[in-house]
Structure 1
Amino acid sequence: MKELAGRLTALDPDAGAAVRVIAYFDRLAESRAGVEALVRGAAVLSGAPARLVDPDRLVRVRVEPDGTRRDTDLPPDPAWPCAALTPGGAPALWLERAGARPSVVDSVILERAAGAARLVLDRTRGRAPLDDPALVETLLDATAAEPARLHAARRLGLDNAAPFRAVAVPDGPPRVLPADAGADVPAGRAGIGPAVPVPDLPRSWAAARTALRFAAEGTAQDPGPRIVHADGLGGLALLADLVVPGAEPPPDVRAVEAAAADAPWLLATLHAVTATASLRAAAAEANVHHSTLQDRLVHAEHLLGWPVRTPQGRLRLHLALTMRRLARS
């Protein structure tokens, strides 16, 4: 092959370079190189960053021309030279080189790298759908043996080098999403676990279920955030162990429930007070005049039995509203 490449280079430099590219990727395939090595080869040979994205199997790899892996969430430029993993499929491998038409060598790099990557992905990732209930259940089960969970991850096409989050919803199966898949978060109430490596997904799932208990319906009778990230709870997560659904609610929660029965506007108004930085901002959040908010808070304090316009009172109110949600979940 080297002799052939040398002869072709003397006649046509592009043809000689193309033969060397073919030989390079053949050697990688024979050594059973992984996806990252194939993308790195494409980047180094082309002198441009190379990116492979397979959304079906949640694989995303980007490598700089110097061989450094540097992934990104930015979408590929449609003007970049690209290749599909399967004939007629969507583009999955790009060389980040805008402008002129791809050279012969770039085209060969894309074709050989994409073909080799497809074989690796089919061999190691399979084609199981990410919402396969049995596999997801095994993946998130802390009592399952780690080899079984890792096997489920491979069948689901999860990249062990990438972080993922578990997602809990009220009336649906658990989900596993890439750490940066914000647009894929389900509508309605949801608890989002922390981003963790694949082996730690049971921990993310436990945190997601806790976060779901803090999520509200987002209505006048249950105001608050509908999507709660476990990362953002901090010490508040400890309340989930103290407030048991179905048990006798704490006194402050009973006071809030009684006050809400007397004034239908109360819950939304009190949530605005705890969710904003000032009473003026709370009035805007509640869509009332500042003086109207003041009158409502005077009435709310009378019903609740404690002030809500002091720092201590606002903290007590915030905890009461949070415990109410935990007691109802």
Structure 2
Amino acid sequence: MEALAVRLSGLDPHVEGAIRVVTFYDTLMRRRVDLAALARASAGLAECVVGVRLGGTGRAIRLSPEGMDASGPQAPASSTAPVTLDDEEIGTVWLERPGPPNPLDEVLLDRLAIAAAAAVERYGPARTTMADPALVELAISADSEEAARARALRLLGFAADLPVRVVAVRARLPLDRIGGLICPARPVKAAPLAGVGVLLATTVDRSAFPAGVRAGIGAAGSPDRSWREARTALRFATAGRPVVPYDELGALALLAQVPQDAVRDNPDVAAVAALADDPEGLETLDAYCSTGSLRRAADLLHLHHSSVARRIEHLGKGMDIDLTGPSGLIRARLALTAWRLLDD
């Protein structure tokens, strides 16, 4: 191939460059990279912002030459090409090059469109965020060697310099749908693991989690630590607070490390456990602990504050805790949280 390029370059100075572009994309396709990795590699090759959009999902990816999400509004496309699969146009690829187009831009976009179609055919538009569970486990396991972890992340499409955040999820919704919502335009991978949904993402939009999903979000950084944090945070997720970032737990995270036998033997926790057969009482205690105010708890429960006050007084007597005082409220909050962590 290189010898042919040298001979042809004597006739056309752009032929050798074009052949190198074709070889570049052939290599990416052999490695079975996904759309995010394909766009990242293309942006580095083109030395300008590259965009990929699929019409069926509306998903758009814009990456800078540094491999990061292209910030700011989309610039006018300097060159575009359709992505075609089975004679059907399924999307578009484009370059946002300032100034005149590069002589090789047409070849680059043509090969990018072909590679994008191959990626869609391989993974399917609805499964582009799904990944091999074994590969995800290798990326987040505390037992993985760093070289193996780095290779797994690279195969999943994450650049070495990109921070990776792990999310632990419990939901009936498909994981790829959740991943597409919380990280629509940057790398995200999903897989079920040990009864929990795992999402690996470079950014997480906390406000985008759909209803019915409970999630724990680990801090960005080492994936194994982020996974451990995400699982801990998931244990604190409730109907009232379904999405819990680990870094907002603070000292509460220490409760997850207390042995469960010690938690069960605690009188305050035992008093909360006794309320398990009293949904109304448990709901009232939860609202009061969450708000710290009789009036705000009454608003939450759609009751008059005097009715809530009577319930709290009754609950306090049964628990042998003065719930109206600051220390009693703290004890109730800790006991309620610790009780929820039991057998979770």
The structural deviation recorded for 1:116 is 5.4
Greater alpha carbon shift after TM alignment, 250-259 vs 232-241: 250-259
The structural deviation recorded for 1:324 is 0.5
CA distance 1:173–1:299, change in 2 (3 Å): closer
Task: Among all aligned residue pairs of Structure 1 and Structure 2, give the percentage whose two residues are the same amino acid.
Answer: 33
Q: Following the alignment from structure 1 to structure 2, what is the Cα–Cα distance between the partners of residues 118 and 246?
A: 60
Structure 1: gaps spanning 5 or more residues: 6-18, 98-102, 219-223
Once the two structures are superposed, what CA deviation does each residue of 1:198-223 show, in whole Å capped at 9, x if it has no partner?
A: xx21111111121122223x3xxxxx
Q: Following the alignment from structure 1 to structure 2, what is the Cα–Cα distance between the partners of residues 38 and 151?
A: 20
> Which of these residues, 210, 219, 229, is aligned with residue 245 of structure 2?
229
CA distance 1:153–1:95, change in 2 (3 Å): same
The structural deviation recorded for 1:190 is 3.0
Residue identity opposite 1:62 in structure 2: L
The structural deviation recorded for 1:60 is 5.2
With the length of structure 1 as denominator, give the TM-score of the two structures.
Answer: 0.67
Structure 2: gaps spanning 5 or more residues: 1-7, 29-37, 171-193
Q: Note the 1:214-225 alignment, pairs <5 A.
A: 214-216=236-238, 218=239, 224-225=240-241
Check the 8 A contact 1:61/1:69 in 2, yes or no: no
Residue identity opposite 1:192 in structure 2: I
Once the two structures are superposed, what CA deviation does each residue of 1:112-160 show, in whole Å capped at 9, x if it has no partner?
A: 246259769x99xx97973312111212211122222222223323333
CA distance 1:154–1:92, change in 2 (3 Å): farther
1:162 partner SS: coil
> Which of these residues, 199, 202, 205, is aligned with residue 227 of structure 2?
205
With the length of structure 2 as denominator, give the TM-score of the two structures.
Answer: 0.64
Match of 1:172 in 2: 195
Specify which structure has the higher proportion of strand. 2
CA distance 1:280–1:247, change in 2 (3 Å): closer
The structural deviation recorded for 1:253 is 0.7
Q: Note the 1:186-197 alignment, pairs <5 A.
A: 187-196=212-221
Q: Following the alignment from structure 1 to structure 2, what is the Cα–Cα distance between the partners of residues 260 and 168?
A: 26
The structural deviation recorded for 1:322 is 0.7
Aligned residues: CA RMSD? 4.7
Q: Following the alignment from structure 1 to structure 2, what is the Cα–Cα distance between the partners of residues 246 and 230?
A: 23
Check the 8 A contact 1:259/1:300 in 2, yes or no: no
Check the 8 A contact 1:140/1:202 in 2, yes or no: yes
The structural deviation recorded for 1:270 is 1.5
Once the two structures are superposed, what CA deviation does each residue of 1:243-274 show, in whole Å capped at 9, x if it has no partner?
A: 4279634211111122454x431111121122
CA distance 1:181–1:272, change in 2 (3 Å): same
CA distance 1:27–1:325, change in 2 (3 Å): same
Query: Which has the higher Rg, Structure 1 or Structure 2?
Result: 1
What is the number of residues matched between the two proteins? 289
Match of 1:39 in 2: 43
Check the 8 A contact 1:168/1:209 in 2, yes or no: yes
Q: Note the 1:50-65 alignment, pairs <5 A.
A: 50-51=50-51, 61-63=62-64
Check the 8 A contact 2:18/2:104 in 1, yes or no: no
Match of 2:338 in 1: 323
Q: Note the 1:155-304 alignment, pairs <5 A.
A: 155-169=155-169, 172-182=195-205, 183=208, 187-196=212-221, 200-216=222-238, 218=239, 224-244=240-260, 248-261=264-277, 263-276=278-291, 278-304=293-319
Check the 8 A contact 1:246/1:327 in 2, yes or no: no
Q: Note the 1:304-319 alignment, pairs <5 A.
A: 304-319=319-334
